[in-house]
Structures are given as C-alpha cells and as structure tokens.
Structure 1
Amino acid sequence: MRSDHAPEPPEPSQDDLAERLTEVFDLVGPLYRRVHRKVEDAAPVEGLPVGVRAVLDLLRTREPMTVPQMGRAQALSRQFVQRMVNDAAQRGLVESLPNPAHRRSSLIRLTTAGRTAIEVVHAREHTLLRRVDGDLTGADIDACLRVLTAMLALFDDVEVD
C-alpha cells in the first residue's frame, strides 16, 4: 500500500540541537535588553523601575514570598531584590508580614496600590504583545516555553549571590 505522506525527517543530533540552541541564546539576549528598555521608557507612566516591576510581577502570582525566595525565583541576588523591595515599600506597593517559618525573613505581599500598579503594567504589556507578528499558535508558544524552561534548568546550579 502506497503512502501519500513524505517520510519524517530524521531527528537532529545532539550537536545539531546545541547549534540551534545557540541561536536561541543569540535571540534571548537582545530580546531581554529591548524589553528592558521598553519597560524603562514606559516607567514614567507607571513610575516603576524595572526591578520593582519584576518584584511586583512575581508577587502578583506567588505572594507572599520572602526576599531570598524572590531572588532564587528570578536568579537575582538577595541584595538586589532587597533594594527593589525597599523601593516598592517606600512607594506603598508592598508590605512586610511576620513569617511564622522564619523570624528574620519577613514575608512580602502586594498592597492594594501595588496590585493596581502591576495590573496596569500587565494590561499595557498585554496590548503590546497582541501585536506580535507571525502565524504563532498555542503549540508554538508551548514549544518555546518548553525549550526555554529546559535551557533555564541547565543552569539551575549557577549561584546568583
């Protein structure tokens, strides 16, 4: 019986995959820097530095958290995260709560003002991201997330402090 389908191409070798993953790294760096600049350009609108925005966004989905937990989640030093949390607290966007699990490491959560601020940022970013060109599908996004997650896991042992 004859098949009307062409044979599947062979799976790429580990060396071929490594070369393709290098292409991903080559795109992620410039993408990150451009997004960083775009957020900074919009900062006067919300008044949020990029680091504070990152803390608020993390707390939006995972609050409450300690500063060390936030640092690990974002691969940032505890000192940097602490400075961003202090900045956010001075702006009235986060508050500290006693941590029953650890007396010296408070839990941080969003205030109502903080939740409102990050929701405004998210709405603006959502509007921008709707303009992405291309015939992207949910499967494309799933594959991208799977690849980036695997690449991030490769570097789980890298210390950030």
Structure 2
Amino acid sequence: MVFEDLTAYRLLIADVYELAGASRRTSEGLAREVGQSAARWHVLSVVSDGPRTVAGAARRLGLARQSVQRVVDDLVAGGQAELQPNPDHARAPLVALTEAGVRSLAELVRRSDADRAALLARAGVDRADLDRAREVLRRVLAAVQEPPVG
C-alpha cells in the first residue's frame, strides 16, 4: 500500500463523515417541517417493518438503549407508537407503529424522496454511480469488521 492510497482513504472517510453530517442536517429540516425530529424519524423507520423491543431498535440504529427509550416514550406520548406485550420477555414490550405513526413516516419518506431526487439530479449522479460507490464502501466496511489476520 502506497502513501497515496492511505491519503485517498483518509479523504474518503472525511467525505463520508461530511456527507453523513449534511444528510443529517437536511433530514432534521425535513422532519421539523412535519413536527418530527430525525431521531423520531429513525425510530419510526426501524420499527416500520414490524414490532421490536427498544433494545432491538437501539442495536439496529447503533445507539444506546436509553436514548432510543426516550424517543420511544415521546412517540408513544404523541400517539405515533404503542407498546405491545412481548411474549418472549414480559419486561421488554414491543414497540409498534400506530396508524398516526405510519402516516407520519409515509409523509417523511415522501418529502425525503423528493428532496433526495432533486439532490441527485443536481449532483448528476445516477443509480450506477451510487451502486459503484456503495460497493466500494461495503468492501471497506467488511474489511474493517473482520478480525485482522495474524
């Protein structure tokens, strides 16, 4: 590996962080327009494919269980999520979306899709570009996650 490769890697990671930060800021703005936050949006999304525990949602989001619990409490208080009995663990209820939560998530996705489509058009980026970039990132991620040899 040559020095230029390592420099390119550091620059790629810096760009990924910058893109993630910019994406979070635009997501916050989109969420605010419909009375949500990005954190609430993330939790709505993670339980949209079926009920899960707070701990399960936290693992999927890569966040602390306590921070997800606070967001779930807000969503339940706002009528967008509900707690259901968990047949596998009496003290860890399942978090599920209510109809209001489903509607809110659908509106967030609709607004986000329109915003992201405009962004990709401005950038001149198409599906093939995104697939190539993602493939490289997934290879690097897989290498980061595997234990070093030796």
TM-score relative to the length of structure 2:
0.81
> 2:52: which partner in 1?
65
* 130 and 86 in structure 1: CA distance in 2 versus 1, 3 angstrom threshold: same
SS of the counterpart of 1:130? Answer: helix
For structure 1, the residue ranges without an aligned partner over 5 or more in a row are 1-12
| TM-superposition CA deviations, 1:28-49 (whole Å, max 9, x none) | 2222222222233334421112
| TM-superposition CA deviations, 1:106-142 (whole Å, max 9, x none) | 1111110001001101100100111123443323222
Q: Give aligned-pair identity as a percent.
A: 28
Do the aligned partners of 2:30 and 2:108 also contact (CA within 8 Å) in 1?
no
Higher helix share: 2
Q: Which amino acid aligns with 2:10?
A: T
> 1:8: which partner in 2?
none
> 2:24: which partner in 1?
36
- Say what the alpha-carbon RMSD is for the aligned residues: 2.4
Structural mapping, 1:2-17, within 5 Å:
13=1
* 18 and 106 in structure 1: CA distance in 2 versus 1, 3 angstrom threshold: farther
What CA distance in whole angstroms lies between the structure 2 residues aligned with 1:150 and 1:58? 24
What CA distance in whole angstroms lies between the structure 2 residues aligned with 1:14 and 1:64? 48
Q: Which of these two proteins has the greater Rg computed from alpha carbons? A: 1
> 1:27: which partner in 2?
15
